[in-house]
Amino acid sequence: MSEIKRVGVVGAGQMGNGIAHVCALAGYDVYLNDISDEALTKGMETIESNMTRQVSRDMISPGEMSTAMGRINTSTTLDGFADVDLAIEAATEKREVKEEIFKSVCAAVPARTYLATNTSSISITRLAATTDRPEKFIGLHFMNPVPLMKLMEVIRGLATDQQTYEMALGFADRLNKTTTNAEDYPAFIVNRVLVPMINEAVYALYEGVGTVDSIDTAMKLGANHPMGPLQLADFIGLDTCLSIMQVLHDGLADTKYRPCPLLVKYVEAGWVGRKAGRGFYDYRGDAPVPTR
């Protein structure tokens, strides 16, 4: 098995910049790609801010931060991927977008390069089939926020070979992540359980069972959850929650996975959570205020 030294990450958003962050701290040279300089600048600012917070909490030293920041190179092209050992896709949760990205990545990377996707719900086998190396393709589902969350779901596609799987375990270990193996079924483990719970909370709001505040308070104090399901939905992104529910509904053909109409309405309005300034809470003031 070839040693992983250089990692390419496609997507500088919420997940991609987090993946670049932990890879750089683990000693990998990182090539971070996105479609615009603006997205890359924002991603690097987030990485710097998050590492600065880690320094203030004595999680890393100033020297480790400086060295890690210096390991990350950014570009709107895939030229830097010409010598990466592992390419990770961390773009939006839309199958068509991911498939197009992997076509471009396959044309840019050498034959030895492993491919991974950070998808939270889409079939690994299906994505792998669009590449020229399905045996070197694997799902590496990081949790958000990546620098803080310990878990990584590892998902093998039908064609994923043992060498690629062992590479994934070694890579996760170097990132100090705990792995859990999930079979290649819609939404894997975490989101198969979590997102339908969020969808049910939205149904409770939709049907008038409770308000945003009462539902979140009930689950925080009644089930000891660190944050309520509607607050968590805003943190994840309502568009991502909807995409996962649609994958579950389409892939399993069970009405219990039908996305709540209110969730659809919020996404149609562009109120997709914290990243948009509004979701089930309005974040534009000094403190979040429920929108229903």
Catalogue the active-site residues.
Answer: 120, 141, 153, 191
Strands (E), 120-221: 137-142, 151-156, 178-182
The residue type of 117 is T
User: Residue holding tokens 């995409």?
Assistant: 243
Give the burial class of 166: count Cβ atoms within 10 A of its Cβ; 0-12 exposed, 13-18 middle, 19 or more buried.
exposed
Give the burial class of 66: count Cβ atoms within 10 A of its Cβ; 0-12 exposed, 13-18 middle, 19 or more buried.
exposed
Measured between alpha carbons, how far is 190 from 291 in angstroms, rounded to an integer? 27
Phi-psi region of 58 (alpha: psi -120 to 50; beta: other; left: phi over 0): left
User: Residue holding tokens 């990350």?
Assistant: 72
Sign of CA dihedral 275, 279, 281, 286: positive
The answer to whether residues 52 and 60 touch, using CB atoms and an 8 Å cutoff, is no
Measured between alpha carbons, how far is 248 from 242 in angstroms, rounded to an integer? 10
- Cα dist from 101 to 75, 189, 265, whole Å: 15, 25, 29
The single-letter DSSP state of residue 278 is B
Q: Which residues, in sequence order, are CB contacts of 190 under 8 Å at separation 6+?
A: 120, 141, 143, 151, 153
CB atoms within 10 A of CB 287: 7
